[in-house]
Amino acid sequence: MHLRWYDHWLKGIDNGIEQAKPVQIFVMGTNIWREEEAWPLPDTQYRSYYLHSQGHANREQGDGTLSTELAGQEPEDVYHYDPRYPVPTVSEATDPGEQSEMGPFDQRTIETREDVLCYTTPPLEHSTEVTGPLELVLYVSSSALDTDFTGKLVDVHPDGRAEILSDGILRARYRQSLAEPVLMEPDQICRLRIALGATSNVFLARHRIRLDVSSSNFPRFNRNTNTGGNIATERAADLKSSINRVHHSHVYPSALILPIIERTDK
């Protein structure tokens, strides 16, 4: 693709590159290349998958679920975030000095932790294509003045393998603006919009869609010390633990917003 572009624009070779569609995507799951007219795709349907539980979504074995039905009166999910023991990034990097690599790594080793909330759909009856930008809307509270919230989109295979597709993070003090940070009020509920990047993946029949929520993903993202202070200059002795809560109900409709593509000619 790069060589065709350079051949045309630097060498003047008429190879049809100008007639190609402006967007090319590789669709995982079905594992095909596809050309599109625009990004996001014009026929995208943004669908909310609401978070549900009875207050025990901690770990993959918990009761967290995802559904297109709005939550009713449900208790919030609670976990303890300690920056001294952050959730590790799952990648090929084994040495702390190595650069973490992205890839479809199995997340099951960290989904056994109490500070990871897992929300999962039932096995899909039909294949579901998710192509485009991903967003997570969370209603949260914390005992700290500032903390982080992370989101991770995961494709769960029938054999249990949980492959990461994309992820994101938001430092709560920047929930309103990157230029003018605002600290949280302890135990007061606030709304976060977390960008989870983008993907193109077909969740095949019998697979499940999963959302992992936590407050750390280290070393991919640096740890929040939970103090509300200048994280760059703080020492290990300054680290504080926090009790973080994710609220989901008809009043606080926390949801994973997925770009769904429905076509008969895919």
pLDDT for 98: 56
Mind listing the pLDDT tens digit for each residue in 37-70? Answer: 999 999 999 999 999 999 999 999 999 999 999 9
Helix (H, G, I), strand (E, B) or coil at 159: coil
How many whole angstroms separate alpha carbon 131 and alpha carbon 35? Answer: 13
Neighbours of 250 (CB within 10 A): 11
Taking residues 129-133, what's their average pLDDT? 98
pLDDT for 1: 87
pLDDT for 101: 60
Taking the whole predicted model, whether its pTM rises above 0.95 is answered as: no
pLDDT for 93: 47
How many whole angstroms separate alpha carbon 178 and alpha carbon 23? Answer: 30
128-142 and 45-52 strand pairing: unpaired
Q: Across the chain, which distance is largest between two alpha carbons, in Å?
A: 65
How many whole angstroms separate alpha carbon 61 and alpha carbon 215? Answer: 19
How many whole angstroms separate alpha carbon 70 and alpha carbon 66? Answer: 10
How many whole angstroms separate alpha carbon 166 and alpha carbon 164? Answer: 6
Strand partners, 137: 193, 255
The vertex-151 CA angle with 145 and 155, nearest 5°, equals 165
pLDDT for 104: 86
Counting residues of the chain whose pLDDT is more than 90, the rounded percentage is 92
pLDDT for 193: 98
- Enter the tokens of residue 27: 């669709």
Looking at every residue in the chain, the average pLDDT score rounds to 94
Higher pLDDT, 192 or 20: 192
Give 262: exposed, middle or buried? Use CB within 10 Å, 0-12, 13-18, 19+: exposed
DSSP letter, residue 231? G
Q: Domain locations in the chain?
A: 1-39, 41-261
Higher pLDDT, 101 or 207: 207
- Enter the tokens of residue 120: 């999962």
Above 80 in pLDDT, residue 122?
yes
How many whole angstroms separate alpha carbon 213 and alpha carbon 258? Answer: 16
pLDDT for 102: 66
How many whole angstroms separate alpha carbon 58 and alpha carbon 236? Answer: 27
What is the CATH number that goes with domain 41-261?
2.60.120.260
Mind listing the pLDDT tens digit for each residue in 78-111? Answer: 999 999 999 999 975 445 555 556 678 999 999 9
